[in-house]
A = this chain, B = another copy of it.
């Protein structure tokens, strides 16, 4: 132990994306730096540029790489169940790579995301939904997946701060001026039943799509 250089293997786009994803998982995407990725690989900064065009393109590759971790939906199951499982898998991935949801919404689709989209569109099409319902459904579902992850991550981030005492003072203030908001925050705090909010809203969408098809 104690060796400084990380590896003798040659640098690769693959290895760079790996290191970058690991770093972002651990330290957040804001702390992600070309210099730090290089260091994690025991290479000079400029060596990275032989395999990625620039930082933004590296981020593009990173998102696409983690999207590839989502397992494909089943084409045999009940379509709604297949969608629920696939959405859940996507959600789990976005919670594992907490930077990925924001980046997903910033970057263009790469090969893995195109493959993912194609699979979802196929499930909806095979379910017998009309083209315009498939079209809207695809957007509604992916929006829900990414949007929900973004919101949950933001919410959990707040919880990480000086929350316990802040919350009650905040609620006291709020109760006078914004009663509905205060009630909503309270509901968040006693996080009881809404444990499966993700599925609740997803089902709202799936049922809605089914009904819109008639």
* Residues of A21-38 contacting chain B, CB below 8 A: none
Known A102-B105, A204-B212, A212-B204: A178·B143 in contact at CB below 8 Å: no
The minimal Cβ–Cβ distance linking A18 to chain B, given in whole angstroms, is 25
Chain B residues positioned under 8 Å from A114 (CB to CB): 174, 178, 181
Q: Does A100 contact B (CB under 8 A)?
A: no
**Contact-size category for A:** 35 or more
CA distance A132 to B183 in the complex (A): 11
Q: Using an 8 Å CB-CB cutoff, how does the interface string of A117-140 with B read, 1 for contact, 0 for none?
A: 110011001000001101110111
Binds B, one of A45-53, A64-72, A193-201: A193-201
| A209: interface (CB < 8 Å) | yes
> Does A115 sit within 8 A of B, measured CB to CB?
yes
Determine the residue in chain B with the shortest Cβ distance to A194: B135
Query: A131 contacts which chain B residues (CB < 8 A)?
Result: 183, 187
Are B106's CB and A102's CB within 8 A? yes
Q: How far is the CA of A122 from the CA of B125 in the complex (A)?
A: 38
- Quick one: which of B108, B136, B174, B211 contacts A200, CB cutoff 8 A? B136
In the assembly, what is the distance between CA of A115 and CA of B180, in Å? 10
Question: Are A184's CB and B121's CB within 8 A?
Answer: yes
Distance from A28 Cβ to chain B, minimum over Cβ atoms (Å): 12
Q: How far is the CA of A5 from the CA of B123 in the complex (A)?
A: 60
Rounded to whole angstroms, the CA-CA distance of A150 and B149 in the bound complex is 14
Complex contacts, A125 vs chain B, CB 8 Å? 180
Q: Is A144 an interface residue (CB 8 A)?
A: yes
Which residues of A166-189 are within 8 A (CB) of B? 174, 178-181, 183-184, 187
Give A residues with C-beta under 8 Å from B: 102, 105-106, 108, 114-115, 117-118, 121-122, 125, 131-132, 134-136, 138-140, 142-144, 146-148, 150-151, 154, 158, 174, 178-181, 183-184, 187, 193-194, 197, 200-201, 204-205, 207-209, 211-212
